[in-house]
């Protein structure tokens, strides 16, 4: 006893005399009193973490925690403190006394049928011998009572109670070993004990432990564990046990050692326990700080009263005694907090297991919440900043959430300014380019909080505002509050600029509309600049023979400029008042912004009204702003109508009626104002379909309705832009759908058709032989415009009767004139190509409309074959238009299309057409020529000194058209053209843009159907062979710069050899006998040309079985031997061949290997997939530390096949091999100043998308 008293343990020093502590100790939830200003001598207790030094990792499997040891090493010195000896002796006579309540509780739950630990033990192989662990598994157990019972046991027999708690943690690790009262306080033997425990677990295969298990019994285990630890620590603080016993010291000693174990279950569970203890201690420390603050104020008050009355010595002495107790508790808590951070967090935040890293970062966020005065410091924040570049999505998400907690506490923002400036670029990058939407949306919230503290520059704010046009709706919605704040600032500036005038609601609304237009124009220009810069970088990279230097293109730059405004309106609808105030937007647009006053289009106004409509500079719009605001009006009207459908029926009708009434007055003025501007009038034409036309009849405004018809017809007849024509026809179609206005509609549509016929006849100017007549340039343009108008109208309305009307022979019919104009296509005039193209489309539409009204009488013409042949020197555009329309007709009259689903013959059956094989071959050749010409046009040089508009037009004209390709593809899909002719499309994969590449997927689906369900595997092999040969010839002829497109095509074609079902299981596969023959033919034919062709052959091995792989390997070896080729093992040139051989060897071994199957089925992983993440996806228990290094060794030795069993069951590293053991457990350490310590450049790229 004397020996023990002479060398007390660290946790027991000066604590045996704190018996009356309970009188001054209160619950952490209650206010505490101490003033930091008065307790300046206690400030050293706030031991901050060193920002420049990282603790070294110990070099043993279980490093002994850094704590003060006693001088005497024998066992007696490791017992409880001397003051506790009498109680220990008293309780030794009944060591089973603390076990009574746990047996009673267990039996009660089992009797009620709610919880049976014995059954659970049989399912999980975890012994049910620990009462605390059973309580955690029991959903109906009272955790507060459990915590109080434990503390009572701790006061009776500290060793037994602590052993019970440590055994509970061991059970949570999936370990059935136990420690007794002597072992638990033998701190020097902790590492040896854990070595013995883990030795047995290493022999087990994937041990189950609750934190990762999917068993229903463990569903609430994580929550219960957290709650129990919190209640235990808080209750211990209330009772004083937290400071007077070695409870926390014992827990720290064990969990710190366990957190460095190579066994993942130990490492994960111990880390969670340590972090939860730290969180609870943060709550206690925060309460003590609050108590110190209150106590300080009380002492200050007592000093003032003492100066006056000089009779408060007793009260002041009492306060001094309380202050001394608070100082002592602060010192103890600061030591506890630092011990866990240094012993667990700084090692495990960079653990190999992303779940452990995520737990650490999440816990740090909790510490920021509970104890910000201590943890909101750069020395702790830097850990969160480093993991912003983590390869794991959950880790990055938890880091962003932790930062959201940081910046929500504005009173501490000043102390984290340096951290903000250091990691702000990374936050901006994540907001624009992270691969996970949840991370991006959370990151935008953090940036909004940073901006609320005025820590963002104007350029950085603009980058966030550009996310309003992002392709992802969730990102746009997350950015809308930030954008709303920026808009409000600009709007307030506009209002404040109106000095000495009436600043009513109307003035503020107009200023808000002006601010919205300004910002949208500004951000649109920024997006255009970013997009142009990205395109220039892309062109530079394509022309560079060195490594690619392409920068990350923001996702928002890919949005079509014509669709940006609707995206912005949708996102800002609930955030910005100016967006949903369509009435104010319409009011501003009706003003004449080119003059100083509002000029009423309908008539003069009074002086008072004119003064109210004065265009103030605060809301005067520029030309670009007016165009953008018109788009906002259309999008706002559409959104208002859509929002009304979600409301009640009566409210919906009210909204639509109010919208229509306002447009009845304003829409004619918009037509008058913008009728000469093609772009603006196309937006105005989108408004009529949003109106309730029946309201014209209800309000008896038929003249206004007729005027609306005239306005739309006028735009249709005066413009030739395809956009204006399409939108005009859509408005006319909306008019014709109003059955209550049939009389007016019938009259107006006839007038429109008559006007079109008159325009067409006037354009030909009465010429007799139109086929060979001479037309001026203006006449050709006029004819092309008329044909485009008629074609647009015929696309939505049956115009057959009108086109064939010749007024009894007095006039030439529209059909005759159009047919004659199409015949001029034989002359090959390039300036007439648009006219002939539109004429061909119109004739095709006419035939389609005629086919819908065919009678059921079989009436075939003997001269039908005369119209199927012939050549001409027509222009390229005319040829393409003829091809498209001819294919459409063949699809329409294909025999399979001439039968109804019930098997009845349709009227088109007598007119069925079959496309001859030689014609199909010519079409294939023409498609190949079209692809080559498109490629040449695409790479044609463009002038550098032209303006941006000229550049844009050049790029647009050089872009290859996909219309012929889509038509040819539809013909293949319908069966008109045989699928064997599809190789010409497949060979151009990767050359003509992403739209073209989508077509190859459709062809692959057709090939899969042919091979899998029609037993036509030879056809599939033939098409794949021709496509790959043609693609490889493009590489050899230097048409394309490398073989990347060919390899991409091979990967796509490989999917046509098999069909996968649930969990990637192979449901059907192509007959493998055709695959080896195909592989052999390729090897033999192309081996002498280029070794790089083997890169394309590797993906095609998916459908090859082990026995066929053996034959291919033998045949390949024979070819290499016959050719007398020496394949050097280190030569980079032969890398594709070595990769091909490696894949063959892997397939050969797959059939005979003894690799362990996954739990869900026989789903294997390739060499590329067999990394630590792939092995870590299994249900808990596979040790991360044991998995990584063997996997890396396998990838470093391509000649060997990886052996999964050796990876999982590798014996532990000897304690002497410190470097290897450290790399198994942790990632490489991050030095101070490094951004991240736990990922490679490759993983970073996969993890965060943009920068990463």
SS3 sequence of 896-916: HHHECCCCCECCCHHHCCCCC
- The gap from C-alpha 142 to its chain's centroid, in whole angstroms, comes to 42
How many CB atoms are located within 10 Å of the residue 626 CB? 21
The tokens for 899 are 């039968």
SS3 810: coil
Name which of 26-35, 117-126, 779-788, 993-1002 the model is least confident about: 26-35
Positive or negative, the CA dihedral 736, 742, 748, 749 is positive
| pLDDT above 70 for 51 | no
Cα–Cα distance for residue pair 631/651, rounded to 1 Å: 26
Ranges 149-163, 313-327, 585-599, 952-966: which has the least confidence: 952-966
How far is the CA of 341 from the CAs of 66, 236, 359, 484, 839, in angstroms? Answer: 12, 21, 13, 41, 79
pLDDT at 1089 over 80: no
**DSSP code per residue over 400-411:** HHHHHHHHH-GG
Arithmetic mean of pLDDT, 601-606:
44
Task: Name the burial class of residue 331, with classes exposed (0-12), middle (13-18) and buried (19+) by CB atoms within 10 angstroms of its CB.
Answer: middle
Read off the DSSP letter of residue 387: G
Tell me the three state secondary structure of residue 1137.
helix
Is residue 352 a contact partner of residue 1226, using CB atoms and an 8 Å limit? yes
Q: Output 1059 or 842, whichever has higher pLDDT.
A: 842
Helix, strand or coil, per DSSP, at residue 444:
helix
User: How is residue 518 written in tokens?
Assistant: 């300004």
Q: Which of 629-633, 860-864, 932-936 has the highest mean pLDDT?
A: 629-633
Taken in order 463, 468, 470, 472, the sign of the CA dihedral is positive
Burial classification of residue 491, based on how many CB atoms lie within 10 Å of its CB (0-12 exposed, 13-18 middle, 19 or more buried):
buried
Q: Do residues 775 and 821 lie in contact, with contact meaning Cβ atoms separated by under 8 Å?
A: no
Residue 573's pLDDT is 92
**Interacting residues of 233 by C-beta distance below 8 A, sequence separation 6+:** 242, 277, 280, 281, 283, 284
- DSSP 3-state of 1059: strand
Q: Tell me, what's the pLDDT at 874? A: 63
What is the C-alpha to C-alpha distance for residues 1115 and 443, in angstroms, rounded to an integer?
56
Mean pLDDT, residues 1032-1039 taken together: 74
**Both tokens assigned to 1003:** 């062809």
For the segment 521-529, the average pLDDT, to the nearest whole number, is 90
Indicate the average pLDDT of the chain.
73
Please state the φ and ψ torsions of residue 351, each to the nearest 5 degrees. -65, 160
Q: Is the dihedral of CA 220, 226, 229, 232 positive or negative?
A: negative
Whole-prediction pTM value?
0.64
Residue 1066 CB contacts under 8 Å (≥ 6 apart), including other chains: 1058, 1059, 1060
Confidence of residue 992 (pLDDT cuts 50, 70, 90): confident
Report residue 637 as tokens: 């009207």
The burial class, CB within 10 Å (0-12 / 13-18 / 19+), for 759 is middle
| Residues 439/444/450/451 CA torsion (nearest 10 deg) | 170
What is the three-class DSSP state of 1060?
strand
* Residue 96: pLDDT band with limits 50, 70, 90: very low
Q: What is the DSSP letter of 263?
A: S
The percentage of the chain sitting over the pLDDT mark of 70, rounded to a whole number, equals: 66
Task: Report d(CA 130, CA 21) in Å as an integer.
Answer: 32
pLDDT at 1107 over 50: yes
Return the pLDDT at 996: 72
Which of 26-30, 1069-1073, 1117-1121: highest mean pLDDT?
1117-1121
Lowest mean pLDDT among 392-396, 497-501, 727-731, 1009-1013: 497-501
Q: Hunting for tokens 């026989």 — which residue is that?
A: 1162
Least confident interval from 63-72, 507-516, 827-836, 1048-1057: 63-72
Beta-strand runs (E) in 41-133: none
Model confidence at 551: pLDDT above 70: no
How does 983-1001 read in b/e, with b if 16+ C-beta sit within 10 Å? Answer: bbbbbbbbbbeeebbebbe
Both tokens assigned to 726: 């399409």
Q: Provide the Cα torsion 356, 357, 358, 360; round to 10°.
A: 90
Query: How distant, in Å, are the alpha carbons of 98, 182, 257 from that of 89?
Result: 15, 14, 30
Cα–Cα distance for residue pair 1054/350, rounded to 1 Å:
39
Which residues on neighbouring strands pair with residue 1060, listed in sequence order?
A: 1066
Give exposure, 559-586, as e/b (b: 16+ Cβ within 10 Å).
beeeebbbbbbbbbbebbbbbbbbbbbb
Residue 245 tokens read as 């016993």
Strand partners, 1158: 1161
pLDDT of residue 865: 52
Cα–Cα nearest to 769, from 836, 826, 817, 807: 817
Pairing of strands 1058-1060, 1066-1069: antiparallel
- Spatial distance between the Cα atoms of 1191 and 1183, rounded to a whole number of angstroms: 13
Long-range contacts of 44-49 (CB under 8 A, 24+ apart): 45/327, 45/330, 45/331, 45/334, 46/330, 46/334, 46/374, 47/334, 47/335, 47/337, 47/338, 48/374, 48/377, 48/379, 49/338, 49/341, 49/342, 49/377, 49/379, 49/380
Is pLDDT of 1104 > 90?
no
In this prediction, residue 387 has a pLDDT band, given cuts at 50, 70 and 90, of very high
Q: Give residue 1198's pLDDT.
A: 37
Does 62 or 893 have the greater pLDDT score?
Answer: 893
As given in the structure block, the two tokens for residue 111 are 């009797």
Using alpha carbons, list the distances in angstroms from residue 371 to 293, 323, 1197.
14, 20, 50
- Helix axes of 722-736 and 777-794: crossing angle, nearest 10 degrees: 40
User: Which of 378-392, 468-482, 862-876 shows the lowest mean pLDDT across its residues?
Assistant: 862-876
Rounded Cα gap, residues 432 and 1107, in angstroms: 49
Residue spans per domain, the chain: 978-1153, 1157-1246
Q: Predicted confidence band at 946 (pLDDT cuts at 50, 70, 90)?
A: very low
Residues sharing a CB contact under 8 Å with residue 180, sequence separation 6 or more, in sequence order: 159, 163
pLDDT at residue 789, as a whole number? 93
Predicted pLDDT at 614: 61
Q: Is it the case that residue 832 has pLDDT exceeding 80?
A: yes
Listed range (32-36, 348-352, 527-531, 882-886) with the worst mean pLDDT:
32-36
- Predicted local distance difference test score (pLDDT) of residue 206: 66
Mean pLDDT of 927-943: 50
CA distance 609 to 593: 17
Residue 509 · residue 494 · CB < 8 Å = no
Residues 1165-1180, mean pLDDT to the nearest whole number: 38
Among 464-478, 498-512, 560-574, 1119-1133, the minimum mean pLDDT is found in: 1119-1133
Query: Highest-confidence range of 720-724, 806-810, 1066-1070, 1128-1132, by mean pLDDT?
Result: 720-724
How far apart, in whole angstroms, are the C-alpha atoms of residue 918 and residue 903?
A: 31
Q: What percentage of the chain exceeds 90 in pLDDT?
A: 32
**Most confident range, picked from 277-286, 870-879, 1078-1087:** 277-286
- The closest of 519, 487, 492 to 508, measured between CA atoms, is 492
Mind listing the pLDDT tens digit for each residue in 694-710? 999 999 999 999 999 99
Please return the burial class of 40, using the count of CB atoms within 10 Å of its CB with bins 0-12, 13-18 and 19+.
Answer: exposed
Read off the pLDDT of each residue in 1086-1096 and give the average, rounded to a whole number.
58
pLDDT, residue 64, reads 41
What's the mean pLDDT in 490-514? 81
Q: What is the pLDDT confidence band of residue 1149, given thresholds at 50, 70 and 90?
A: confident
The listed range with the strongest mean pLDDT (386-400, 501-515, 888-902) is 386-400
Convert 593-633 into a string of H (helix), E (strand) and C (coil). Answer: CCCCCCCCCCCCCCHHHHHHCCCCCCCCCCHHHHHHHHHHH
Q: Rounded to an integer, what distance in angstroms lies between the CA atom of residue 494 and that of residue 505?
A: 13
């Amino acid at each position: 006893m004397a020996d023990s008293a002479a060398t007390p343990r660290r946790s027991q020093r000066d604590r045996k005399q704190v018996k009356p502590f309970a009188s001054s100790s209160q619950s952490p939830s209650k206010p505490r009193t101490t003033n930091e200003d008065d307790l300046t001598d206690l400030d050293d207790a706030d031991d901050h973490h060193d920002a420049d030094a990282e603790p070294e990792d110990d070099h043993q499997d279980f490093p002994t925690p850094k704590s003060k040891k006693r001088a005497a090493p024998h066992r007696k010195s490791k017992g409880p403190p001397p003051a506790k000896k009498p109680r220990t002796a008293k309780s030794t006579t009944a060591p089973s006394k603390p076990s009574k309540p746990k047996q009673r509780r267990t039996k009660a739950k089992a009797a009620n049928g709610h919880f049976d630990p014995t059954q659970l033990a049989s399912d999980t192989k975890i012994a049910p011998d620990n009462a605390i662990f059973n309580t955690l598994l029991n959903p109906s157990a009272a955790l507060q009572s459990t915590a109080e019972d434990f503390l009572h046991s701790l006061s009776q027999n500290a060793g037994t109670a602590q052993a019970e708690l440590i055994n509970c943690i061991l059970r949570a690790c999936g370990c059935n070993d136990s420690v007794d009262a002597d072992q638990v306080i033998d701190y020097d033997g902790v590492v040896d004990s854990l070595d013995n425990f883990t030795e047995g677990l290493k022999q087990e295969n994937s041990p189950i432990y609750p934190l990762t298990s999917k068993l229903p019994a463990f569903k609430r285990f994580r929550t219960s564990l957290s709650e129990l630890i919190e209640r235990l620590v808080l209750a211990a603080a209330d009772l004083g046990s937290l400071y007077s016993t070695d409870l926390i010291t014992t827990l720290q000693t064990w969990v710190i050692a366990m957190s460095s174990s190579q066994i993942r279950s130990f490492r994960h569970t111990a880390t969670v326990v340590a972090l939860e203890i730290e969180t609870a201690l943060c709550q206690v420390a925060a309460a003590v700080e609050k108590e110190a603050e209150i106590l300080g104020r009380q002492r200050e008050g007592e000093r003032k009263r003492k100066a006056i009355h000089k009779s408060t010595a007793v009260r002041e002495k009492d306060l001094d005694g309380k202050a001394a107790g608070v100082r002592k508790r602060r010192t103890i808590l600061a030591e506890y907090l630092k011990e866990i951070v240094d012993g667990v967090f700084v090692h495990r935040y960079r653990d190999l297991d992303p779940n452990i890293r995520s737990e650490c970062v999440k816990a740090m966020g909790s510490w920021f919440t509970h104890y910000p005065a201590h943890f909101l410091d750069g020395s702790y924040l830097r850990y969160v900043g480093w993991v912003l570049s983590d390869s794991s999505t959950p880790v990055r998400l938890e880091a962003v959430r932790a930062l959201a907690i940081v910046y929500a506490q504005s009173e501490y923002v000043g102390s984290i300014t340096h951290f903000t400036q250091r990691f702000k670029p990374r936050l901006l990058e994540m907001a624009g380019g992270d691969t996970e939407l949840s991370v991006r949306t959370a990151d935008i919230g953090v940036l909004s909080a940073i901006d609320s503290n005025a820590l963002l520059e104007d350029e950085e704010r603009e980058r966030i505002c550009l996310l309003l046009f992002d392709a992802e709706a969730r990102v746009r919605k997350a950015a809308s509050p930030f954008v709303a704040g920026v808009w409000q600032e600009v709007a307030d500036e506009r209002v404040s600029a109106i000095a000495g005038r009436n600043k009513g609601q109307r003035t503020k609304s107009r200023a808000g509309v002006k601010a919205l237009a300004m910002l949208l124009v500004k951000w649109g220009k920024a997006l255009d600049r970013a997009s142009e810069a990205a395109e220039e970088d892309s062109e530079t990279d394509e022309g560079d023979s060195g490594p690619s230097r392409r920068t990350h293109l923001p996702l928002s730059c890919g949005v079509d400029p014509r669709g940006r405004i609707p995206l912005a309106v949708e996102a800002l609808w609930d955030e910005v008042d100016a967006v949903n105030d369509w009435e104010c937007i319409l009011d501003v647009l009706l003003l004449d912004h080119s003059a100083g006053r509002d000029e009423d289009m309908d008539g003069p106004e009074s002086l008072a009204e004119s003064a109210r409509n004065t265009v103030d500079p605060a809301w005067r719009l520029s030309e670009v702003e007016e165009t953008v605001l018109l788009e906002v009006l259309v999008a706002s009207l559409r959104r208002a109508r859509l929002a009304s459908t979600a409301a009640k029926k009566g409210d919906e009708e009210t909204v639509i009626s109010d919208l229509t009434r306002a447009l009845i007055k304003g829409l004619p003025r918009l037509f008058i104002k913008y009728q000469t501007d093609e772009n603006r009038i196309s937006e105005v034409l989108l408004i009529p379909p949003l109106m309730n036309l029946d309201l014209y009849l209800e309000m008896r405004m038929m003249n206004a309705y007729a005027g609306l018809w005239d306005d739309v017809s006028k735009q249709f007849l005066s413009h030739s832009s395809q956009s204006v024509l399409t939108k005009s026809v859509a408005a006319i179609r909306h008019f014709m759908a109003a059955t209550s206005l049939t009389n007016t509609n019938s009259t107006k549509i006839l007038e429109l058709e008559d006007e079109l016929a008159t325009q067409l006849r006037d354009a030909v100017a009465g010429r007799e032989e139109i086929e060979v007549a001479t037309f001026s340039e203006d006449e050709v343009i006029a004819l092309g415009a008329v044909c485009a108008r008629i074609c647009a109208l015929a696309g939505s309305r049956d115009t057959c009767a009108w086109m064939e009307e010749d007024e009894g022979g007095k006039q030439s019919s529209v059909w005759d004139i159009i047919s004659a104009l199409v015949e001029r296509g034989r002359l090959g005039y390039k300036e007439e190509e648009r006219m002939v193209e539109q004429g061909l489309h119109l004739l095709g539409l006419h035939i389609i409309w005629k086919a819908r009204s065919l009678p059921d009488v079989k009436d075939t013409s003997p001269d039908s074959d005369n119209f199927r042949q012939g050549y001409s020197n027509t222009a390229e555009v005319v040829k393409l238009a003829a091809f498209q329309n001819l294919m459409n007709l063949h699809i329409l009259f294909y025999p399979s299309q001439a039968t109804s689903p019930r098997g009845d013959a349709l009227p088109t059956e007598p007119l069925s057409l079959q496309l001859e094989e030689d014609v199909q071959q010519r079409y294939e050749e023409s498609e190949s020529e079209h692809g080559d010409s498109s490629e040449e046009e695409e790479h044609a040089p463009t002038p550098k000194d032209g303006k941006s508009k000229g550049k844009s037009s050049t790029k647009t004209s050089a872009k290859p058209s996909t219309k012929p390709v889509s038509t040819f593809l539809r013909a293949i899909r319908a069966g008109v053209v045989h699928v064997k002719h599809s190789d010409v499309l497949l060979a151009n994969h990767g050359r003509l843009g992403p739209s073209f590449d989508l077509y190859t997927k459709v062809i692959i689906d057709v090939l899969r159907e042919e091979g899998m369900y029609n037993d036509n595997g030879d056809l599939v092999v033939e098409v794949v062979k021709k496509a790959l040969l043609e693609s490889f010839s493009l590489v050899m002829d230097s048409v394309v710069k490398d073989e990347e497109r060919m390899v991409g095509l091979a990967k796509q074609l490989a999917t046509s050899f098999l069909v996968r079902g649930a969990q990637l299981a192979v449901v059907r596969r192509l007959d493998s006998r055709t695959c080896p023959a195909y592989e052999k033919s390729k090897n033999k034919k192309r081996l002498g040309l280029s070794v790089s062709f083997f890169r394309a052959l590797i993906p095609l091995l998916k459908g090859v079985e082990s026995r066929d792989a053996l034959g291919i390997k033998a045949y390949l070896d024979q070819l290499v031997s016959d050719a007398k080729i020496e394949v050097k093992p280190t030569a980079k040139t032969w890398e594709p061949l070595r990769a091909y051989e490696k894949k063959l060897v892997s397939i050969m071994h797959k059939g005979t290997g003894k690799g362990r199957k996954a739990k869900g089925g026989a789903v294997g992983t390739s060499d590329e997939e067999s990394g630590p993440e792939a092995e870590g996806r299994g249900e808990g228990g596979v040790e991360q530390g044991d998995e990584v290094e063997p996997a890396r060794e396998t990838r470093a030795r391509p000649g060997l096949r990886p052996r999964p069993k050796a990876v999982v069951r590798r014996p532990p590293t000897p304690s002497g091999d410190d470097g290897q053991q450290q790399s198994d457990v942790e990632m490489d350490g991050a030095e101070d100043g490094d951004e991240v310590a736990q990922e490679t450049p490759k993983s970073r790229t996969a993890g965060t998308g943009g920068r990463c």
